Amino acid sequence: MTTPKLKTRRSLIDLQIDYTNGIKEPLENLMRAWKGIKELDYTDDNSFFKIGGYHGEPFRGGGWGNASYWGGYCNHGNILFPTWHRVYLLRLERALQSIAGCADVVLPYWDETDESSILYGIPSCLTDENFVLDNETIANPLRSFVFPRNITDNISQDPSADYSKPKNYETKRYPLSGLMGPNDIAATHAHNALFPKYEDNVKILNNNVKDWLNSHIVVNKVTIPTNLVQKFKDCLDAPNFTVFSNTSSAAQWNGERQTIDPVTGKPMVDDPNFKAVVSLESPHNSIHLAVGGCDIPSYNKSPIPGANGDMGENDTAALDPIFYFHHCNIDRVFWLWQKKHGATDALEIIPEYPGTNTIDNQGPTPGFAPNTWLTLDSPLEPFKKNETDYYNSKDCINIETQLGYTYSQGSMDDHASLFLAKKQDEFPSRIIKVSKINKAPIRGSFTVSAFMNVNGEKLHLGTEAILSRWNSQFCANCQTHLEVKAFFKLPIIETKLFSALNENPYEHVEIEIHGRDGFINGTNKSKLLNALEKPVTGFHLEII
| Domains of the chain, residue spans | 206-310+423-543
Query: How much of the chain, in percent, has pLDDT values that exceed 70?
Result: 80
**Strand 7-9 versus strand 405-407 pairing type:** parallel
Least confident of 2-6, 132-136, 497-501: 497-501
CA 214 vs CA 159, 209, 237, 384: distances in Å: 38, 9, 20, 40
Cβ within 8 Å of residue 314, ≥6 positions away: 55, 56, 72, 74, 76, 362, 467, 468, 469
* Segment 145-171 mean pLDDT: 81
Write out pLDDT tens, residues 31-50: 999 999 999 999 999 999 99
In this structure, what are the phi and psi dihedrals at residue 397, rounded to the nearest 5 degrees? -70, -50
* Segment 63-75 mean pLDDT: 68
Q: How far apart are CA 494 and CA 472, in angstroms?
A: 43
Write out pLDDT tens, residues 371-408: 889 999 999 999 999 999 999 999 999 999 999 999 99
Q: How far apart are CA 496 and CA 500, in angstroms?
A: 8
CA 405 vs CA 7, 80, 86, 176: distances in Å: 5, 20, 11, 36
What residues are paired with 9 via a beta bridge? 407
What residues are paired with 509 via a beta bridge? 452
Does 209 or 519 have the greater pLDDT score?
A: 209
E strands in 395-428: 405-407
Q: How far apart are CA 544 and CA 56, in angstroms?
A: 38
3-state helix, strand, coil in the chain (%, to 5): 30, 20, 50
At 474 the pLDDT is 45
- Residue 217, helix vs strand vs coil: strand
CB 65 within 8 A of CB 366: no
At 241 the pLDDT is 98
Say if residue 477's pLDDT is above 50: no
Least confident of 227-241, 311-325, 522-536: 522-536
DSSP 278-316: --THHHHHHHHHHHHT-PPP-SSS---TT---GGGSTTT
* Segment 455-467 mean pLDDT: 85
Nearest to 438 by CA among 449, 448, 453, 429: 448
At 206 the pLDDT is 96
CA 277 vs CA 63, 282, 292, 486, 487: distances in Å: 32, 10, 25, 11, 9
At 544 the pLDDT is 73
Of the pLDDT bands very low, low, confident and very high (cuts 50, 70, 90), residue 147 is: very high
Sign of torsion, CA 235 237 243 248?
negative
Say if residue 71's pLDDT is above 50: yes
Q: How far apart are CA 519 and CA 530, in angstroms?
A: 9
pLDDT averaged over the chain?
Answer: 84
Say if residue 537's pLDDT is above 80: no
- Residue 7, helix vs strand vs coil: strand
Burial 204-220 (b: 16+ CB within 10 A, else e): bbbebbbbbbbbebebe
Say if residue 258's pLDDT is above 60: yes
Residue 296 buriedness (CB in 10 A; 0-12 / 13-18 / 19+): buried
CB 235 within 8 A of CB 282: yes
CB 73 within 8 A of CB 52: no
The separation between CA 46 and the C-alpha centre of its own chain, rounded to angstroms, equals 25
Say if residue 59's pLDDT is above 60: yes
At 348 the pLDDT is 96
* Segment 512-537 mean pLDDT: 62
Q: Cα-atom radius of gyration of the chain, to the nearest Å?
A: 23
Write out pLDDT tens, residues 178-228: 999 888 899 999 999 999 999 999 999 999 999 999 988 877 677 778 889
- Residue 391, helix vs strand vs coil: strand
Residue type, 463: T
Q: How far apart are CA 63 and CA 451, in angstroms?
A: 39
